[in-house]
Chains A and B, each alone.
Chain A
Amino acid sequence: MTDVLGNTLNLQYELLLPEIILAITAVVVLTLDAFKKELRVGYNSLPFVSVLGLVGAAVATLLLLDNRGNFALLIELDDFTTFFRLLFIGTAAVLIIGSYEYIERHVSHVGEFFALILLSTVGAIYMAAARDLLTAYLAVEVLSFSLYVAVSLAKNDPRSGEAALKYVLLGGVASAMLLYGLSLLYGVAGSTQYAEISEALAAGTGDVTLPLLLGLVLIVGGLGFKAAAVPFHNYAPDAYEGAPLPVTMYLSATSKAATFALILRWFAGPLLPAVDDWAWMLAAIAVATMVIGNLVALQQHNIKRLLAYSSISQVGYMLMAVTALAPDTGVATSGAVLVHMVGYLVTNLVVFVGVIHFYNKTGKEEISDFRGLAQTNPYLALTLTAGLFSLAGMPLLAGFFTKFILFQAVASADYLWLVIVGVVASTVSLYYYLQVIKQMYLYEPLVPGRWRLSATGYLTTGVLFFFMVAIGIWGAPLYEVADAAAGAIFFV
Chain B
Amino acid sequence: MDSTGIVIGFWVLSAITVVSSLLVLVARNLMHALAFLVLAFLGMAGLFITLSADFVAVAQVLIYAGSISVLMVFAVMLTPLASRDNGNSLYVLPGVVAGLGIASLVAFVAVDTEWAERTGAALAESDFASTVGEVGRLLLGRYVLAFEVASVLLLIGLLGAIVLVQERRRAATQSPDEAADTGARDGGAL
Contacts and interface: CB of A to CB of B under 8 A. Distances in A.
Interface string A18-56: 000001000000100000000000000000000000000
A207 B170 contact: no
Contacts of A135: 145-146, 149
Contacts, number: 100
B145 A187 contact: no
A74 B153 contact: no
Contacts of B115: 187, 206, 211
A71 B152 contact: no
A72 B144 contact: yes
B153 A210 contact: no
Contact of A11 (B144, B152, B153, B167): B144
Given A71-B145, A73-B142, A149 B164 contact: yes
A119 B157 CA distance: 11
Contacts of B142: 3-4, 7, 9, 72-74
Contacts of A122: 149, 152
Interface stretch (B32-40, B69-77, B106-114, B182-190): B106-114
A210 B160 CA distance: 39
Nearest to B154: A145
A254 interface: no
A138 B162 CA distance: 22
Q: How large is the interface on B (under 10, 10 to 19, 20 to 34, 35 or more residues)?
A: 20 to 34
Interface of A: 1, 3-4, 7, 9, 11, 16, 23, 30, 71-75, 108-109, 112, 115-116, 119-120, 122-123, 126, 132, 134-135, 138-139, 141-142, 145-146, 148-149, 152-153, 184, 187, 190, 205-208, 210-211, 214
Interface of B: 105-106, 109-110, 112-116, 134, 137-138, 141-146, 149-150, 152-153, 155-157, 159-160, 162-164, 166-167, 170-171
Given A116-B159, A119-B156, 20 more contacts: A4-B142, A7-B142, A16-B145, A71-B145, A74-B145, A74-B146, A108-B163, A108-B171, A120-B156, A123-B149, A123-B152, A134-B146, A138-B149, A138-B153, A139-B149, A145-B156, A146-B156, A149-B160, A205-B116, A207-B113
